Amino acid sequence: MLLAIDIGNTQTVIGLYDETAADGSDPGGSRCEAGLLDHWRIATKAERTADEQALTIQEFLGFHGFSFDDDIDGIVISSVVPRATSAFREMVERYFGFRPVVIEPGVRTGMPVLTDNPREVGADRIANAIAAIDLYGGPAIVIDFGTATTYDAVSAQGELLGCAIAPGIDISLDALYQRADALRRIELIEPRNVIGRNTVDALQSGAVYGFAGQVDGIVGRMRDEVGQNATIVATGGLAGLIAPYTRSIEIIEPWLTLHGLRLVFAKNQ
């Protein structure tokens, strides 16, 4: 089985794939979920050691009836946190006895990156673009709601052209709370109305409709450059909340990054 690990600034997402089933598709679900046996989301803590990371994964696997020692024969990693990358790499080599596939310069991805400096493009963004092209073809625009909200444009030829990066929803709200003493933290859920009649409703409305408007504005301008027929795919923890309030997002794929990681792993065997 394959472990696909996406290490983000705030959260780390781990997917467990049965590679013997991953090439098939579920007629009732997304191809991203084909072969996906389980998945876990944990807080990213760069200070965790390789031993601590191993213990965390062992507990997840054991809790769901999988063997840490016998069931895992491949691991693929994308990361934007160098210290965590190092710890996971050390964990894999020490506890599993093989080297992980890490999306970094020198690893085959099949994705031409046409930015001014391809080395600065986040590994998760490359995985997202690979997955979007595999699932839907190009052109495509991939929106990832993470610590930052990223908008990646992929050409009809399957090239990563570049992106727009905006502050993420959570950190934007955190900045607001820090600067406005009268505002308190809220649960980010579906707003009852656009016109809020109390502070909580007003904050929820501003966050959800505000970021939905940002999505439509950026996507509209990107389509002018990449093509009006571009498929718009959203992923990330808050994609399911924001997407219904946009006019442009067509598809929500919660496990898009993991699917891209699985494809990269296959290319490097």
Tell me the catalytic residues: 124
Cβ pair 9, 147 in contact under 8 A: yes
Residue by residue, DSSP assigns 54-70 as: HHHHHHHHHHTT--TTT
What's the CA gap between 232 and 121, in Å, rounded?
Answer: 20
The DSSP letter of residue 32 is G
What's the CA gap between 33 and 18, in Å, rounded?
Answer: 11
Residue by residue, DSSP assigns 180-222 as: -TT---------S-SS-SSHHHHHHHHHHHHHHHHHHHHHHHH
SS3 content of the chain, % helix, strand, coil (to 5): 40, 20, 40
Residues whose CB falls within 8 Å of the CB of residue 85, separated by 6 or more in sequence, listed in order: 7, 77, 79, 102
What's the CA gap between 74 and 135, in Å, rounded?
Answer: 23
Cβ pair 140, 219 in contact under 8 A: no
